[in-house]
């Protein structure tokens, strides 16, 4: 055998050997045969359940006032800084008042001139009154002389004319007095306005609080036109704060005034603060097709650890119950393959039997009542199947809305069947069951039976949180082991 042939046979033997070895180990690599599922269970327990809505929002003071200037001018002095505690009326800043002092002086001078003019007009009235009296006496003299034939009629007419002129002059003088009084009132108003503007050069705090923002310095010019420029922000009493939280429209329906809340801030990650919902605002905010509502949470801040502007991570407790029967949420998500384990199937007869067994537990039904209920339900479902449109028989899927209405009709039919057969002791249980059905939802969970097979149990669910859901009805008890997941085991 030549060396080339030996080399060829050796090369061919390598993949053949590898293929043979792989065939020997293939069952082990693929896991071998499946021996069946192994179920993981969790215990049904009693404990607290808290339904919370998680959100966030900025910390704000209960009242924040923006202090501005109604006048334009140059800042002459600033008497406060950040974090300064102020009381109502304290001076925050002062504008240059020279221009406004000059306006006050001008207004005072104008008022003095108006008062002098009034005095002049009042003297003119006195003069006009004297002239009128003299004219009236002249008329009397001319009348007496005319009666005696001493004076001509022309002299009497002249006296009467002079008297009428005197009356007109008096009326004019009196009107000028009223005009002078009006001018005085105008000058007084101008003086008052000038004094108000002068007073406004001193900017004072409108409330008791803490200065949290200052936007001016000495020498800066303030321009007040249509809107007063903001100079300071003052927070009133930081011993209480509020949080403006944005809550999604899907969660806002369960929040109401008075709900307790807990929150943390990044500055103190290990400290939990407590507050309470004081307002759910009706105005919506829409951003990128997401609708949110503002929820106000108030909290105490006696130690002043919370600052305006901090971000609070909130948990609003919308419902809370203690010592309730509860199961883990993972048990509600578990579904065995095909949902036919333990003798359960998806056919209508099994559905009727399962519903009857569930009602037997919740309403204390007798075996005779259960048998009657099962028979009536089977007949009702048979009629419903016969009335289905022909399209359903050809496998065309029904609309989801039809399924929901069918479930509603099914439950209504159960009520109609079961109500006539109830005893007086069972009727209160039946009314409570109907109320629970309207205010809760039903679900199916699975437990391991004595023979290791899955058994289906029906429960009515109440309050739920991130980990547990309350059981308010059904045939599950504390200590039961409910299946939460299954895994395949290979040999």
CATH number, domain containing residue 136: 1.10.287.620
In a domain, 119, yes or no: yes
Structural domain includes residue 87 = no
pLDDT value of position 173: 87
- Taking alpha carbons only, the member of 345, 326, 263, 337 closest to residue 470 is 326
What pLDDT, on a 0 to 100 scale, did the predictor assign at position 159?
74
Identify the domain containing residue 455 by its residue range. Answer: 326-388+399-490
Residue 198 main-chain phi, psi, to 5 deg = -65, -40
Can you tell me the distance from the alpha carbon of 236 to that of 209, in angstroms, rounded to the nearest whole number? Answer: 4
Separation between Cα atoms, residue 306 and residue 211, nearest integer Å: 15
Residues 181 and 330 in one domain: no
Is the residue at 420 inside a domain?
A: yes
Distance CA 158, CA 167 (A): 14
Tell how strand 260-265 and strand 209-214 pair up.
Answer: unpaired
| Residues 6+ away with beta carbon under 8 Å from 284 | 249, 291, 292, 293
Tokens matching residue 368: 């005779």
Where on the phi/psi map is residue 102: left (φ > 0), alpha (ψ -120 to 50), or beta? alpha
Residues 186 and 331 placed together within one structural domain of the fold = no
Rounded Cα distance between 56 and 261, Å, is: 11
Cα 309 from Cα 59, distance rounded (Å): 5
> Which of 200, 221, 239 is a domain's end point?
200
Q: Which residue has the tokens 């006539």?
A: 420
- Tell whether 120 is covered by a domain: yes
Q: To 5 degrees, how large is the angle CA 287–CA 288–CA 290? A: 65
Retrieve residue 77's tokens: 């002095």
Cα–Cα distance between 94 and 76 in angstroms, integer? 6
Question: Does residue 61 fall inside a structural domain?
Answer: no
Of 315, 299, 316, nearest in space to 61 by CA: 299
Single residue among 185, 200, 215 that ends a domain in this structure: 200
- What one-character DSSP code corresponds to residue 123? H
C-alpha–C-alpha distance, residues 182 and 118, integer Å: 10
Exposure string (b/e) for 233-256, b if CB count within 10 Å is 16 or more? Answer: bbbbebebbbbebbbeeebbeebe
What is the pLDDT, as a whole number, of residue 2?
A: 46
Residue 259 in domain: no
Q: Are 359 and 351 in contact (CB under 8 A)?
A: no
Domain identity same for 334 and 193: no
How many structural domains is the chain composed of? 2
The one-character DSSP state at 369 is H
For CA atoms 119, 121, 123, 129, give the dihedral sign: negative
Residue 409 lies in a domain: yes
**Is 373 a member of any domain?**
yes
Domain boundary among 157, 178, 200: 200
Q: What is the pLDDT of residue 35?
A: 60
| Gap between the Cα atoms of 418 and 415, Å rounded | 5
Alpha-carbon distance values, 460 to 336, 437, 442, 443 (Å): 20, 8, 4, 6
- Token pair 């003086």 is found at 191
List phi, psi (to 5°) of 321. -140, 145
pTM for the full predicted model? 0.61
**Dihedral of alpha carbons 264, 267, 270, 274, sign:** negative
**How many whole angstroms separate alpha carbon 379 and alpha carbon 353?**
13
d(CA 121, CA 175): 9
| pLDDT for the residue numbered 61 | 93
Q: From first to last of the 491 residues of the chain, give the pLDDT tens digit.
A: 444 444 444 454 444 444 444 444 344 444 555 566 888 899 999 999 998 999 999 999 999 999 999 899 999 999 999 999 999 999 999 999 999 999 999 999 999 999 999 899 889 888 888 888 887 887 777 777 777 766 677 777 777 887 788 888 888 988 998 999 999 999 999 999 999 999 999 999 999 999 999 999 999 988 887 677 889 999 988 999 999 999 999 999 999 999 999 999 999 999 999 999 999 999 999 988 999 999 999 999 999 999 999 999 999 999 888 999 999 999 899 988 765 444 444 456 666 777 777 777 777 888 888 888 888 888 877 776 776 554 444 444 443 333 444 555 667 777 888 888 888 888 888 887 777 666 667 788 998 877 778 888 888 888 888 899 998 877 788 888 899 888 876 65
**What residues form DSSP beta bridges with 297?**
243, 277
Query: Which residue, chain included where needed, has tokens 């059905």?
Result: 437
Instruction: Give the model's pLDDT for residue 66.
Output: 92
Query: Hey, CA dihedral for 94, 98, 103, 105, is it positive or negative?
Result: positive
């Amino acid at each position: 055998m030549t060396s080339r042939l030996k080399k060829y046979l050796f090369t061919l033997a390598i993949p053949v050997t590898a293929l043979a070895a792989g065939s020997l180990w293939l069952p082990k690599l693929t896991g071998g045969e499946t021996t069946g599922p192994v179920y993981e269970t969790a215990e049904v327990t009693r404990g607290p359940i808290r339904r919370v809505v998680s959100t966030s929002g900025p910390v704000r003071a209960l009242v924040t006032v923006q202090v501005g200037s109604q006048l334009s001018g140059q800042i002459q002095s600033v008497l406060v800084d950040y974090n300064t505690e102020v009381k109502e009326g304290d001076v925050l800043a002062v504008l240059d008042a020279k221009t406004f002092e000059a306006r006050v002086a001008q207004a005072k001078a104008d008022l003095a001139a108006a008062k002098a003019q009034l005095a002049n007009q009042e003297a003119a009235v006195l003069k006009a009154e004297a002239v009128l009296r003299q004219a009236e006496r002249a008329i009397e003299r001319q009348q007496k002389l005319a009666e005696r034939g001493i004076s001509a009629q022309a002299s009497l007419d002249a006296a009467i004319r002079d008297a009428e002129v005197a009356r007109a002059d008096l009326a004019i003088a009196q009107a000028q007095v009223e005009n002078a009084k009006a001018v005085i009132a105008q000058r007084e108003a101008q003086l008052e306005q000038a004094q108000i503007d002068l007073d406004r050069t001193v900017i004072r705090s409108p409330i008791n609080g803490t200065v949290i923002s200052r936007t001016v310095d000495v020498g800066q010019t303030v321009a007040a036109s249509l809107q007063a420029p903001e100079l300071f922000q003052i927070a009133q009493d930081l011993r209480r704060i509020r949080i403006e939280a944005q809550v999604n429209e899907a969660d806002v329906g369960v929040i109401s005034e008075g709900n307790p809340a807990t929150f943390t801030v990044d500055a103190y990650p290990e400290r939990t603060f407590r507050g309470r919902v004081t307002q759910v605002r009706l105005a919506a905010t829409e951003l990128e097709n997401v609708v949110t509502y503002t929820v106000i949470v108030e909290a105490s801040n006696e130690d002043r650890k919370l600052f305006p502007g901090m971000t609070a991570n909130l948990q609003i407790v919308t419902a809370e119950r203690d010592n309730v029967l509860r199961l883990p949420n993972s048990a509600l998500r578990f579904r065995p393959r095909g949902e036919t384990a333990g003798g359960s199937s998806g056919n209508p007869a099994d559905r009727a039997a399962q519903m009857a067994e569930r009602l037997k537990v919740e309403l204390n039904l007798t075996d005779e009542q259960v048998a009657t209920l099962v028979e009536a339900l089977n007949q009702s479902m048979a009629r419903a199947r016969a009335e289905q449109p022909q399209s359903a028989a050809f496998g065309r899927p029904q609309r989801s809305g039809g399924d929901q209405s069918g479930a509603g009709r099914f439950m209504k039919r159960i009520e109609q069947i079961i109500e006539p057969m109830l005893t007086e002791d069972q009727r209160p249980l039946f009314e409570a069951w109907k109320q629970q059905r309207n205010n809760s939802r039903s679900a199916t969970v699975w437990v391991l039976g004595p023979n290791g097979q899955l058994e289906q149990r029906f429960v009515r669910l109440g309050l739920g949180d991130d980990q547990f859901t309350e059981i308010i009805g059904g045939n599950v008890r504390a200590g039961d082991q409910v299946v939460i997941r299954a895994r395949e085991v290979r040999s």
